[in-house]
Structure 1
């Protein structure tokens, strides 16, 4: 009987403690709900800036994706210490320029940032000035970001662009492509976006409307050697092979050639074309490395 009474007294004595614990749990839960609500509110604004709506690709990389990208950039450039800095700056430029620009940059975040981070670290130069050629530009935003990345390393580059500028992105095997931004692919759009990169004072980009395989286009653009060539045009096997053969003739000695979408399963012709091009052993181009889905080569 005493033990039963003792148990009842213990339960009665513990009731205030239990009530106090319940109150604290409720307050803690309410505080947690408030924090979650606030985080969701902030996340909504971040998502509006970085998600895929209006661009087709999101700009929200995970820590693991960035770490992988930093490792790849470091391996391709032998600049491990500066790789993270360049990747970080490249990402900030992508976000800023896409936010202010018209249209979008083509490609996933790792691929775009990888190109922007790697090219300056490979120290491309051809004489006192750097001539840059971009084959395929879409809305010109990547070119604007590249000019900015080069400028921050002290390189004032001159830009040449070759693109059909036909109103929409063109690729063999695709038709009725709906541009996710709703922005037409035109020269006026490209020039407006290039202004965001700063550019070289007093020097306008040279934009040649047409296909890189057109003999007239090639004759006009082959008036100089290029220290950086970004090949991002026709993604078919035949188109890439033709562009690489042209690149052999116009790349400056020591120049950097970037082949976009190398190893991207959506465009198998890109990798097949470069692998076959290099297999002969007589190419001036030597593979430097691969970052995300871009191959980097140096002209001998």
Structure 2
């Protein structure tokens, strides 16, 4: 029988200790009554033992066949629910609680990218842990749904970029970049991180400022750098090219190397994505992995439109690998 979750087991400990005490008291009480038989004593102990066993296995305890439960389900305890909600819930970001069916589907989508070792389920779990840890440690949030973020992170060690040169176009608070560095390390590469972002107080899309972020936190360069440090990213291996990806001075500064992993998550208009892909063609190392965020997302149709049009031309270096959640994965020839 599978063990209940760690949080549930921790919540059960006081209940188990109380039941153990009841066992001791009932043994002493029953043993002292001359009118009680050994069989009655054994039955009383077995009933209490069944309660403890049911609680340890996560089931509903009872006092015997058809008997009412002795204790409420700890998972329904408002304190337990509030604790889980505080750690994994959606306040100030997307909901980070796990949907088992969706996680299994993610693993299947990742396996379609190429998973000869059959490790996609493991990578999904590790990527989810990484997301939660980085987001809870930092300030702000990682943009996107949990399946989309977990899919992007889990794909990195599976696709194995040819080198550890990372370019992220559009970094928001820098939290996803911190998680991405960890995944590149898991792929066996060392890393150098380049970020391209205007670092405006609010997100920019199509040249206009969006409403206040769900986290309620304004974006600053100091905050981005602090979040990278909190995620364990070496500042000597990081550079921020501040500006838009289409700015000539930004492109000049960031085009001095061939990248093994590029995440395109900047301007989501069809024109913006098309321009980014044209640039990406010139700065990718052979075998590089290119990720298009929000591919297929209903609110950002320009991402898929520009990507499909670029690939349909057939005259570039980028080839289709697959899709996981709402991210497209390409490989450079």
**What is the rounded CA distance, in whole Å, between the counterparts of 2:286 and 2:96 in structure 1?**
35
8 A contact 1:59–1:95 mirrored in 2: yes
Mapping of residues 125-274 of structure 1, within 5 Å: 125-126=162-163, 130-172=164-206, 175-200=209-234, 203-274=236-307
Structure 1: tracts of 5 or more residues without a match? 1-22
Q: Secondary structure at the match of 2:196?
A: strand
Kindly tell me the number of residue pairs found equivalent between the two proteins: 271
Alignment of 1:45-194 (within 5 A): 45-55=83-93, 57-79=94-116, 81-126=118-163, 130-172=164-206, 175-194=209-228
Cα deviation for residue 208 of structure 1 reads: 0.9
Q: Evaluate the alpha carbon distance shift between residue 37 and residue 150 of structure 1 in structure 2; reply closer, same or farther with a 3 A threshold.
A: closer
2:204·2:210 contact (CA, 8 Å) conserved in 1? no
Question: SS state of the match for residue 256, structure 2?
Answer: coil
Q: Relative to structure 1, is the Cα distance of residues 273 and 51 closer, same or farther in structure 2, using a 3 angstrom cutoff?
A: same
Q: What secondary structure does 2:205 align onto?
A: coil
Summarize the Cα distance change of 1:131–1:36 in structure 2 as closer, same or farther, 3 Å threshold: closer
Structure 1 stretches of 4+ with a deviation exceeding 4 A read: 23-27, 173-176
User: Does residue 73 of structure 2 align to residue 40 of structure 1?
Assistant: no
Inter-CA distance 269–37: structure 2 relative to 1 (3 Å threshold): closer
1:188, distance to aligned residue in structure 2 (A): 0.9
Confirm or deny: 8 A CA contact 1:77 1:122 kept in the other structure: yes
1:28 alignment partner in structure 2: 68
Partner of 2:19: none
Q: Residue 263 of structure 1: SS of its match in structure 2? A: coil
Q: 1:80 to 1:44 in 2, by over 3 A?
A: farther
- Kept after mapping to 2: 8 A contact 1:77/1:118: no
Return closer, same or farther for 1:37/1:91 CA change in 2, 3 Å cut-off.
closer
Query: How many angstroms does 1:77 deviate by?
Result: 2.4
Deviation at 1:228, TM superposition (A): 0.4
- The answer (yes or no) to whether the contact 1:71–1:80 under 8 Å persists in 2 is no
Does the 8 A contact of 2:148 with 2:324 survive in 1?
yes
Deviation larger for 143-152 or 266-275: 143-152
Moved more, 65-74 or 77-86: 77-86
Deviations 1:145-201 (A, max 9, x none): 01112223432110000001011111128645111112121211111111133235x
Q: Using the alignment, how far apart are the partners of 1:228 and 1:104 within structure 2? A: 22
1:265 Cα deviation after fit? 0.6
Match among 279, 291, 295 for residue 324 of structure 2:
291
Structure 2 stretches lacking a partner, 5+ long: 1-62
Secondary structure of residue in 2 paired with 1:117:
helix
Deviation at 1:217, TM superposition (A): 0.8
After TM superposition, the score normalised by the length of structure 1 is: 0.85
Q: Secondary structure at the match of 2:77?
A: helix
Deviation sequence 1:240-271 (CA, Å, 0-9, x none): 00000000001111111000000001100000
Which has the bigger relative contact order, CA under 8 A and spacing at least 6? 1
